Amino acid sequence: MTLFRLDSSIRQQGSVSRQVADTLEKAWTGRHPEGTVVRRDLTAEPLPPTAWTSAAAGVYDPQAPRSPQHAAAAALSVALVDELLASDVIVVATSLYNFGVSQHLKNWIDLVLLDPRAQAGGKLLGDRPVTLVIARGGGYGAGTPREGWDHATPYLVRILSDVLGADVTVVEAELTLADVTPAMAELRPLAAESLSQAHERAAERGRALADLVGAGV
């Protein structure tokens, strides 16, 4: 059984989304030690920024001349989907950047969606469990000044669930910039509480996923 983990935080050290995903992964492997973990880090090993345009050119203009770049981009799109289909459990860990999705995560999504298998009416992932771990530097909940400014989480849930057909659970941590932002000092207790809850939920989710996979569901 395989857990596929996608990381996209621009920070290798100090990343909250990575730390919370680590908690989920540790809980999963603790219950499922014989399982395999496959990782793709979009920051450590970025996808070529022109891959989508090269691959899309072949899809949207079938008469266009093919080049080695077109072929490589199309092959990359297939490989990314193969990674997803070879997994039983998927974890997508990311952060909110400029109120939306980062360029490198969007690049991955666009390449995945180019594969013809992703055009099967929301059936690609066949209800596979996907956990979206997202860290937000500020507060975006109901009643906050920036309620509704998080344009990443709804978009990612829509893509993973409605477009790709996954069974999505969101684990979120907010106010992650409070410790390094003097103006947010009074929010540090709330930030610590949010982070603690995110780790608790991630651990619970990891154990539940291991039990689900172990039961063959």
What is the per-residue pLDDT across 113-159, written as a single tens digit (0 to 9) for each?
999 899 877 789 999 999 999 999 999 989 999 999 999 999 999 99
- Say yes or no to pLDDT of 79 above 90: yes
Which among 9, 26, 6, 41 is positioned nearest to 136, based on CA atoms? 9
Percent of the chain with pLDDT over 90: 80
pTM of the complete model: 0.93
pLDDT of 74 reads: 87
**Gap between the Cα atoms of 94 and 111, Å rounded:** 17
Domains along the chain with CATH numbers: 2-214 (3.40.50.360)
Contact assessment for residue 171 and residue 202, using Cβ atoms and an 8 Å cutoff: yes
Tell the residue number behind the tokens 């929301």, with chain if given: 122
